Amino acid sequence: MFQFLFRATCLLVAFGGMAFVGYGLRVAIAPQSEEATGAELKVMCQECGRVEVARVKQIRACFCSECGNPVGEAWRCLASDCRKVFPFVMRRPKNRAAGKAGLRDWFEAHACPYCRSLRTEPVPVEEERSPKTKAKGASPSAKPVPAKRKGR
């Protein structure tokens, strides 16, 4: 019984070692791409208001391509009397220690800076893309086709 367990353990270690070495070689040999990584977001400059699509890994490390000032994720207000777009920047909570932000602070951070409405959302990236990249029938001018009734 002991010999069987010893052999099984040796085989598992050998195969694990080969897999580890194979993965290391794959990573070392693979070409290093210069493409930006991260999420594709609509960002808005905090100073000039320019809106552009960018690949973002850390929003704090992104700056406006026009004026060089920091950007925030582009959010829009859904209140019927406002509808403004603004840069969302998470600020440190007022009068609280770092990391102790509560639900109230989260809601305050996501509120519209113009009308203080909590009905806000991120601006989707798909709005700016051309109709060629959109899904079939997703254009705003496309009208729904009525379904045909069966059996008549």
- Establish if 6 belongs to a structural domain: no
Tell me the C-alpha distance between 86 and 91, whole Å. 14
State whether residue 76 is helix, strand or coil: strand
pLDDT number for residue 77: 94
> 65: which 2 tokens?
């391509």
Tell me the C-alpha distance between 32 and 36, whole Å. 12
Task: Report how far apart, in Å, the C-alpha atoms of 43 and of each of 6, 31, 89, 111, 152 are.
Answer: 58, 30, 10, 17, 53
**What is the band of 109 on the pLDDT scale with cuts at 50, 70, 90?**
confident
Which amino acid is located at 9 in the chain?
T
Of 5-19, 94-108, 115-129, which range is least confident?
94-108
pLDDT in tens, 1-53: 778 888 888 888 888 888 888 887 777 776 665 565 788 889 999 999 999 99
Q: Which residues contact 139 (CB under 8 A, 6 or more apart)?
A: 131
- Establish if 25 belongs to a structural domain: no
- Establish if 114 belongs to a structural domain: yes
User: 106: domain range?
Assistant: 41-125
* End-to-end CA separation in angstroms for the chain: 75
Higher pLDDT, 122 or 109: 122
Domain tally for the chain? 1
**What is the band of 135 on the pLDDT scale with cuts at 50, 70, 90?**
very low
- Establish if 108 belongs to a structural domain: yes
pLDDT in tens, 40-91: 889 999 999 999 998 888 888 889 888 889 999 999 999 989 999 999 887 7
When pLDDT is averaged across residues 80-104 and rounded to a whole number, the result is: 75
Report pTM. Answer: 0.55
pLDDT over 50 (residue 150): no
- Establish if 31 belongs to a structural domain: no
pLDDT number for residue 60: 86
Task: Report how far apart, in Å, the C-alpha atoms of 132 and of each of 105, 129, 139 are.
Answer: 41, 8, 10
